[in-house]
Structure 1
Amino acid sequence: MQTTLYRKYRPKDFSEIAGESDIVKTLKNSLDNDRLSHAYLFSGPRGVGKTTSARLIAKGVNCLKNGVSSTPCNECENCREIDNGSFIDLIEIDAASNRGIDEIRELKDKINYQPSKGRKKIYIIDEVHMLTKEAFNALLKTLEEPPEHVIFILATTEPDKILPTIISRCQRYDFEALTYTEVKNKLSEICDGENVKIDEGSLGLIYESSGGSMRDAISILERVIITYLGEEITEEKCSKAIGVTSKVLLKEFLEIVKGNKISEGAVFLDKLWLDSLDIEKFFKDFAKYIKDLVLSQDMDAEEGLKMIGNVFDSLNKFKTEEDKRLLGYVVLNSLIKKTKKEEIVYKEVVKVVESSKPEKIENSSEKINISIDDIKNKWTEIVRSAKSEKMTFSAFLMDAVPYKIEENNLYIRFNSNLFAKEQMETEYYNNIFQDVVERVVGVKLRVKYIFKEEKNETRKKENDFTSQLMTYFSEEN
């Protein structure tokens, strides 16, 4: 039977672990100086090396040739058995399927027996947070006074579900999702070992799909390799194999939008549909693509944010629509019409409406009976209503607070986000927001915006806000 790539390339010593340099350094020092704890807690997302590190501790403790060391020989009987999972003194328990008190009581009874072949018995309890309350209590008693020949290593993706009394008896290490460079280097090493040619774009797509999990990244890579066995792997092939929208398609669609080519856009979406691509997922990938262009300064921030807002506005309004091709037409129309013409058209409409009004807010001398406290009390409702009109308001108003009311003018203060203030001051957003305020509080107010920061902070704050906004839209996805 063919060995999976993840098992084939599992690290055989600490030098082969990707990332987690601080944790690796500490564990190596513990082994080399024989200062091991009786219990460890490894927490972090899946596939980042928790169980692998636990097995390396077992190997480092029980190597017959090199003794207790961070560099096991990988040749002796104990090392080989640990690698293939047959070492009798390494006991791995999956708490997700063995949650009960009986399993822990059985463990408690057996730990008093001396190791059969090694120096110490190593108990690895994976997904330990899945244990029942009774099992946790039994485990706690075992951890209080374990035999000298036993080491417990608890692994979990949800440390907040573990009793504090358990955590306090362990040395805790928090593993993190791996960076692109760490994953890329490991995948490149595997491809070299398998004589597979793969381009940089493909490695980037695999990393994005893995979420920083090395195990997931290797599994995805293996699927792509099998799909194109014996072929050179390109970004286009990789995106098709793993169901990710290729940047070629995203770039082509962006050119359609910028060129205001609505008919060509409809044909483009029809082709996606005929190719069985998920239209809704395509637009979410398109929003991420625009975000990346903005953050890399390859697109004007205002233009990019409008596109992202239009995508999510349309997806949200028509989220129950079953005909996804129809949904695609709606988003296409929103992107082309709004990004190119919405402000021009809106300004014309405003001129007509304003000219027909008998009086305007700023010309009114009537005293308005409303206080700033009234506004503050209804601020959450105002923000919620504004978001229902345009999703971008949720991002623009993150840093905004009602400040004061003077002569029928409501002043909204921004503490650090100049970019948000400037967007709210545009006629397009300001008119919508004034209507929302009037609808919620029942009083017409002219809304004005003030900024707290000094001018020399402008560029820094603008960049900070753009970053926050991009994060917001990623989370919305």
Structure 2
Amino acid sequence: MGQLHITNTLKNAIKNNQLAQAFLFCGPRGVGKTTCARILAKTINCENLSAETEACGVCPSCRAFLNGNSFNVHELDAASNNSVDDIRSLTEQVRIPPQAGRYKIYIIDEVHMLSQAAFNAFLKTLEEPPSYAIFILATTEKHKILPTILSRCQIFDFNRIKVDDMAHHLAGIAKKENVTYDADGLHVIAQKADGGLRDALSMFDQIVSFSNRNITYKAVIDNLNILDYDYYFKVTDHLLNEDIASTLLVFDEILVNGFDGNNFITGLASHFRNLLVGKDTATLKLLEVSEGIRNRYMEQCKKTSASFLLTGLNIANQCDLNYRNSKNQRLQVEISLIKICHITSALNLANTAPDEVVKKKPNPVIGNAAALPAQTPVKQPNAVVQTPSTPTIPAYPAPAIPTIPVIQMPVAAVQVQNDAAPATFQAAPPAKPKILIKKLLNNGSLIPNLNDLASTSVAGEDNAPQYVSGDMKEHFSSEDLLLAWNKYAQDILKENKMSIYTLMHANEPVLKDNFQVEVIVDNRIQENLLVHEKVDLLNRLRVELQNFKIDLIVRYVEKNEKKQLYTSHDKYQHLVAKNPNLDDLRKRFNLDLS
């Protein structure tokens, strides 16, 4: 089944009498290698070949083969007969010419299981075989066979059988056996077989007995413990509607039915892949499903965007990678589903929000958040000072930000009192959150522009709010910089970011000209960590020091002579490099680093 490139070649070789002395059939399990070898052995010695180069089945040679008592066909299982003595016994038989028929055929299955000595004993016979001897070798692992053996064989690579071909073959068997069937059910069996017809036939027999000779889609998914397509179509609809509650309820139902969370998330990724494939008519043939399921995919493809599917695939893939190591695996899947639910809102926000209000977080390697162009603050005409003795403080209009259900940004009017004369200002802009949407998506975090922090609150809750203008350039000393630097490091420590805290504690900043802050690190890992933290760190430093011209420069120096702090892991790796036996000792006694 599904190996026309091999069967046509062998038919032409038999018809033209150009048979090789040795054949090697290799490919995945269950695709028909051994069966093809037996059919070839039967056809070679047939006395009355048909016009299609098929064995007649009625001549003495064919009847002897069908009865299993042919003296011209010998089959050896190398998995259980892989010694030198077994091969020597086979070579002794090769010396005896056939008593009836033209050829003696030797089929060696799982030939890669032969020992090195057995291969060497077989090599001489394979190099100079008698004219009447033909060897047919079959294996699933061609790379384990000696090159000297491969060079003396005609190699035929068997392909995985396509789902449609397998389903069509199962339908033919069902008709012959008077078994009623559902096309969707046969397609599920073919997909579950993963290209192996032998596995498909085993599942087919099992389901025939289970369903009392009535193969339905429901019977197949129940017997093979497969998640129904309906679950994935239903979950995708809820995700598109941003219905978190319904999505989590469907996932709970799947867990109650005994399915594994990892099985569900990988199936959801496959579902997104099928939707992405179905959006283009050129790739529609890659959907290996029945016609009914294909129509459902086509219908749901119209509701989804490519951006949604690509982002969902990325989130599902990350969940699959982290699932095994997660202590709360159910929560891992639920968080991923919630993230996918918010993809539509995030994409709409990125498309509709002004560029000066919301920007995507730059790539930590390529982008430089500090290099973004500064925004010119716009004065509001209504901000009129009533008393000449009071300095004019511009009021900035609150930017129009799309409404997001989980983020509220209230705007409140602020009054500033003066001893000489009270001055009432317009509604001051709200203190922007440090991060508008932090890691809503795995690879597309949306954050506010650093230079848009034109008015940021720097006062405590008990004091009257004070605002820093976007063009402020307050001078500060190195001591002020170090104080703000250490304060941020302490806050990072409270968030359990030990790597960043250790890095900031060990590498003090240096104040350069034009408010450039330089940090020298020892390796690329430290450089990447600091670049990742650069946006939040710059935000804090600019607000704390009331200077929006501050820029952070991370410089990597390979041979840095300054002292550095080593963690326990670094010390251990240094010791293992000197004595590798130390690692074996740790593993043997199950020791931990302290």
Q: TM-score range by the shorter chain?
A: 0.5 to 0.7
> Among 259, 269, 275, which residue is 2:257 paired with?
275
- Check whether the contact 2:23–2:154 (CA below 8 A) recurs between aligned residues: yes
Report matched runs for 1:228-267 at 5 Å.
228-234=211-217, 236-267=218-249
Which residue in 1 is equivalent to 2:108? 125
Aligned residue type for 1:205: V
| Structure 1 residues 320-367: Cα deviation after superposition (integer angstroms, max 9, x where no partner) | 23654444323322322345448749989x95899xxxx931359xxx
Partner SS, residue 372 of structure 2:
helix
Equivalent-residue separation in structure 2 for 1:167 and 1:82 (angstroms): 28
Task: Report the Cα offset of residue 147 of structure 1.
Answer: 1.7
Which residue in 1 is equivalent to 2:91? 108
Which residue in 1 is equivalent to 2:174? 191
> Among 210, 227, 233, which residue is 2:193 paired with?
210
Which residue in 2 is equivalent to 1:166? 149
Q: Does 1:334 align with 2:339?
A: yes
Equivalent-residue separation in structure 1 for 2:110 and 2:553 (angstroms): 56
Q: Does 1:289 align with 2:264?
A: no
| Structure 1 residues 19-50: Cα deviation after superposition (integer angstroms, max 9, x where no partner) | 22222112112222322111111122222222
Aligned residue type for 1:250: Y
- Check whether the contact 1:66–1:73 (CA below 8 A) recurs between aligned residues: yes
Which residue in 2 is equivalent to 1:41? 24
- Check whether the contact 2:319–2:333 (CA below 8 A) recurs between aligned residues: no
Task: Report the Cα offset of residue 245 of structure 1.
Answer: 1.8
Which residue in 2 is equivalent to 1:99? 82
Q: Does 1:155 align with 2:138?
A: yes
Equivalent-residue separation in structure 2 for 1:177 and 1:255 (angstroms): 34
Which residue in 2 is equivalent to 1:438? 531
Of Structure 1 and Structure 2, the greater helix share is in 1
- Check whether the contact 2:164–2:187 (CA below 8 A) recurs between aligned residues: no
Partner SS, residue 234 of structure 2:
helix
Root mean square deviation of aligned Cα: 3.5
Q: Does 1:312 align with 2:317?
A: yes
- Check whether the contact 2:48–2:59 (CA below 8 A) recurs between aligned residues: yes
TM-score (norm 1): 0.67
Which residue in 1 is equivalent to 2:372? 362
Task: Report the Cα offset of residue 288 of structure 1.
Answer: 0.4
Aligned residue type for 1:335: I
Which residue in 2 is equivalent to 1:407? none
- Check whether the contact 1:38–1:146 (CA below 8 A) recurs between aligned residues: yes
Task: Report the Cα offset of residue 440 of structure 1.
Answer: 11
Task: Report the Cα offset of residue 231 of structure 1.
Answer: 2.2
Aligned residue type for 2:274: D
Of 327-336 and 190-199, the range deviating more from structure 2: 327-336
Q: Does 1:301 align with 2:301?
A: no
Equivalent-residue separation in structure 1 for 2:22 and 2:219 (angstroms): 46
Partner SS, residue 153 of structure 1:
strand
Task: Report the Cα offset of residue 142 of structure 1.
Answer: 0.8
> Among 189, 196, 207, which residue is 1:224 paired with?
207
- Structure 2, unpaired ranges of 5+: 280-300, 361-368, 375-438, 445-526, 535-551, 556-594
TM-score (norm 2): 0.55
Of 66-75 and 27-36, the range deviating more from structure 2: 66-75
Identical-residue share of aligned pairs (%): 32
State the structure with bigger RCO (CA 8 A, min sep 6), 1 or 2.
1
Equivalent-residue separation in structure 2 for 1:246 and 1:438 (angstroms): 45
Report matched runs for 1:68-79 at 5 Å.
70-79=53-62
Of 323-332 and 259-268, the range deviating more from structure 2: 323-332
Equivalent-residue separation in structure 2 for 1:155 and 1:184 (angstroms): 26
Against the structure 1 CA distance between its residues 167 and 363, is the aligned structure 2 distance closer, same or farther, given a 3 Å change threshold?
same
Against the structure 1 CA distance between its residues 262 and 167, is the aligned structure 2 distance closer, same or farther, given a 3 Å change threshold?
same
Equivalent-residue separation in structure 2 for 1:69 and 1:118 (angstroms): 21
- Check whether the contact 2:350–2:359 (CA below 8 A) recurs between aligned residues: no
Task: Report the Cα offset of residue 153 of structure 1.
Answer: 0.4
Equivalent-residue separation in structure 2 for 1:440 and 1:145 (angstroms): 71
Partner SS, residue 97 of structure 1:
coil
Partner SS, residue 360 of structure 1:
helix
Equivalent-residue separation in structure 1 for 2:27 and 2:60 (angstroms): 31
Equivalent-residue separation in structure 2 for 1:300 and 1:345 (angstroms): 15
- Check whether the contact 1:61–1:67 (CA below 8 A) recurs between aligned residues: no
- Check whether the contact 1:55–1:82 (CA below 8 A) recurs between aligned residues: no
- Check whether the contact 2:180–2:213 (CA below 8 A) recurs between aligned residues: no
Task: Report the Cα offset of residue 240 of structure 1.
Answer: 2.4
Partner SS, residue 214 of structure 2:
coil
Aligned residue type for 2:105: I
- Check whether the contact 1:100–1:132 (CA below 8 A) recurs between aligned residues: yes
Task: Report the Cα offset of residue 102 of structure 1.
Answer: 1.8
- Check whether the contact 2:343–2:441 (CA below 8 A) recurs between aligned residues: no
| Structure 1 residues 35-66: Cα deviation after superposition (integer angstroms, max 9, x where no partner) | 21111111222222221221111111222554
Equivalent-residue separation in structure 1 for 2:109 and 2:530 (angstroms): 53
- Check whether the contact 2:315–2:340 (CA below 8 A) recurs between aligned residues: yes
Task: Report the Cα offset of residue 214 of structure 1.
Answer: 1.8
Against the structure 1 CA distance between its residues 353 and 79, is the aligned structure 2 distance closer, same or farther, given a 3 Å change threshold?
closer
Task: Report the Cα offset of residue 120 of structure 1.
Answer: 2.1
Aligned residue type for 2:221: S
Against the structure 1 CA distance between its residues 83 and 181, is the aligned structure 2 distance closer, same or farther, given a 3 Å change threshold?
farther
Task: Report the Cα offset of residue 239 of structure 1.
Answer: 2.2
Aligned residue type for 1:194: E
Partner SS, residue 76 of structure 2:
strand
Aligned residue type for 2:242: N
- Check whether the contact 1:270–1:325 (CA below 8 A) recurs between aligned residues: no
- Check whether the contact 2:185–2:215 (CA below 8 A) recurs between aligned residues: no
Task: Report the Cα offset of residue 108 of structure 1.
Answer: 1.2
Against the structure 1 CA distance between its residues 88 and 390, is the aligned structure 2 distance closer, same or farther, given a 3 Å change threshold?
farther
Against the structure 1 CA distance between its residues 202 and 123, is the aligned structure 2 distance closer, same or farther, given a 3 Å change threshold?
same
Aligned residue type for 2:531: E
- Check whether the contact 1:318–1:327 (CA below 8 A) recurs between aligned residues: yes
Task: Report the Cα offset of residue 130 of structure 1.
Answer: 1.9
Task: Report the Cα offset of residue 71 of structure 1.
Answer: 1.6
- Structure 1, unpaired ranges of 5+: 1-17, 365-387, 394-433, 446-477
Query: Which of these two proteins has the greater Rg computed from alpha carbons?
Result: 2
- Check whether the contact 2:77–2:108 (CA below 8 A) recurs between aligned residues: yes
Equivalent-residue separation in structure 2 for 1:436 and 1:84 (angstroms): 73
Partner SS, residue 134 of structure 2:
strand
Aligned residue type for 2:138: A
- Check whether the contact 1:312–1:391 (CA below 8 A) recurs between aligned residues: no
